[in-house]
Structure 1
Amino acid sequence: MVSSRFISLSALAALLSLVAADVNSTCYSYGVDFVDEESYFINTLSQDPFTCVSTFQGCNPSMAEVLLVEPNGDESFCSQLNTTADNIPELSTCPVLKSQMTSGDWIILVLGNNGDGNPFAWERDLYLDCGPQATVTVIPTVTYSITKTPTITSTITVTNTTTLGPTATVTLPSATKIQTITPKPVKTTTTYSYTKTKKIMSKELLITTKTVTASCTLPPKPSKPDKPCTYRPTLVNPSALATPTGKAHKFHRYSRKVDRAVDVEYARNRMESAKLKRDRKAGSVAPLIQERAPDAPTFTSTAAIPQNATTTMTAAPVTESAFSTTTYTLQLPPVTVLDGMLTSTTTLPAVTMTRRVVVYTTITTTKTLAATFTRTTTTTPSASATACKAFGGHIGAGRI
């Protein structure tokens, strides 16, 4: 038999929560992905349900009701939120698909009794721009760099000298006779070789594919709490509005009379039962869809094939040699012959005739200009997407 001095752990936890409750506490709510009096874009191409993320401060252990009010005044209960932990994002899912939403003024109401503390009724006024998300395609440019090398021509002069023998003989009276013999010219050939290099530029594009994980864009930490509720809902009569404190409440343009308000649990059960009947009558129940935060108005994609561009740079000049030939002809003076007793024969040196030949050889080289284009594909793991959206973020393009 267990002694009466011992109690169960659950009873002890309940007792401690009662002791910790502050009857004078004020429970504040903050918008994370949707902030009061701000504008947001909703992608109507999405079949996801509308969701909103809130944080709480100074609350006793309790649950908060979330009510979504459309521009035409229709109201919908969203999933409840736990208010106990301070500054912890809590996600609420509403029974309204983004594809069903229209542009206009929307209201999010956060209501609760705050346990044993002051009841609260907070309001979040939003303007939602609802429409299809636009897709922008960016065509990247791959730039090829071509180096242009100027050519400077240097001229080399080759001199050819030809010596011709005497064309006449002069005879003078003398005792000595001189006879001159001119041999035939000796012909030689000199060949000069010069090599030219011709460069041909070719383009080569290397495309690589890189897969990155989509990035999660988280909103900044909420800095201002939701304002006191000025809208009179029809589905529920919050205690904070039934016994208002402080300044008088203003009424929204879609305000309704409070005599239509009913108990929260009764209203929620009635709406959920009616929705289930509609789904069954349609033949299927809508599948569970990943929650999402405010959407990006545009989606940017990169074209698979980039366009080409060419830049030209000038390098240091290169000097090429060219040959020119200059020919000189020397004429020997007439030969003098003396008529006498002695005959002297003189043989002139042989004349050398040089023929110079310039041979050009062209070598063609091909230089390949390589450019690499990285095509990035983005993958979004379901676990990463769920964690991102639960914190009020939205999935965007990956970072390279």
Structure 2
Amino acid sequence: MSWKCDFCPQRIFTTKTSYTNHIKQCLKSVDSSEELSLEVMMIDSLESENLLNNENNFESIHENSNEDEGEGENEDEDNDSYNAEVEEESLTSDISHSSVSFFENMELSNSEPENYSFNNYASDYNNICEEAEPIEFPNNVYADLMALVINYNLSNEATNAVIRFFNEHSNLPLSPLPKNAKKGRELMEKMKIPTLTSKKHKILTHNNIDYYLFYHPVLNCIKNILSISDISQNFTLRFENFKYKGEKAYSEQYTGNWWKNTEASLPHGSNLLSIILYSDATTTDTLGKSSLHPIYISIGNISTKRRNKSDAKHLLGYLPILKAKDKSEKKSKDFKKLVRLTFHNSMKFLLDPLFAEKGIDLEVDNKTFWFFPRISTIICDWTEAATFSLVYKSTNSNFPCHFCLISKTLLADIDLSDVTFRNNENMQEYFYNNAGQDVSLENIPNYF
């Protein structure tokens, strides 16, 4: 099969890609809007005919949907994907948003002044991350799909299923979506954006750079988790005194003493909402080389088996990571203090809406319950635990452990019986008496 340009009769093309690229350039010189419209329709017709007749049809373009995205791809496939994206940008830029109504829920809200569009996000983020050249999504449908993937933490398998569904029912000659989930994530990596969050908040300005916290409102995160159909079947409201063969046994959070004691301290008729936070700055290495710090949230009322599934966790936000102007500043005490202060100010902004004096109302299984949220668990690595607790990070400090007040000289003593643990009371006493240095505690207000 060959193609001939109506405006350049002497040009004959043997491949669809070369013909399409030529037409895009050729049409720029056409003045008549009628001719332009006719030619675009002709391209669509030829593309449709080729996709129907060519052995490598539309489905084969997306053939890797069910394969392991980490295997079986070579350089030729990457080139084909690039060419397809070039065509998509031209031929699908005017696709109506209404043609993909199942993405409507992913539109970014404009109801509050803090909200912003994806384009603004990319522009603002250039102040934080170095960008060689601007890279954008080919179209709104592509952008909305990746928002869906990030906001609902979809796996590659689920994303590929959405792509197949759209391609099958959209009746478009060329799909506006990526070839598969891996291609979409690769594009996001090139754009150096961690997520398509709907809101941002400026935390501080340092060295003439504005640092932003990109986030989902914490109550929205919790409501999204509780809206999942089977969560209510695995959700516990009250303490359970679990026993095994007549003896006290511990399994879920709601069988422990912490839950029992905390629940007893709440107003009559209210319920405890156990908040679990996950933090690991290293998980952003593939999305901008640790340029931002992710915080995830889950709920301890959900049984462990159900909570371990990916949809029972929600991305709460990305904390900014400050950049020092030089090595000297990076090693300075003032900069280290600013880094920790920024972390705790960010956590305060994210979590403050949870701790209203009169609690919060949430819907579980179509019923409204009165909750008092409490942070039960923070899952992180050792260095981040030091950041949360504001203990010196150095293992050479006098009291390097963020759990206890054992000196570094006694940490290896397995026979030690007299152990004093760090808690809110004794840490506040050291802090307010300006004696934090005596127990390797930073002189910074701790949000927790």
Q: TM-score, normalised by structure 1?
A: 0.17
* More contact order relative to length (CA 8 Å, sep ≥ 6): 1
Please state which structure has a larger fraction of its residues in strand: 1
Please state which structure has a larger fraction of its residues in helix: 2
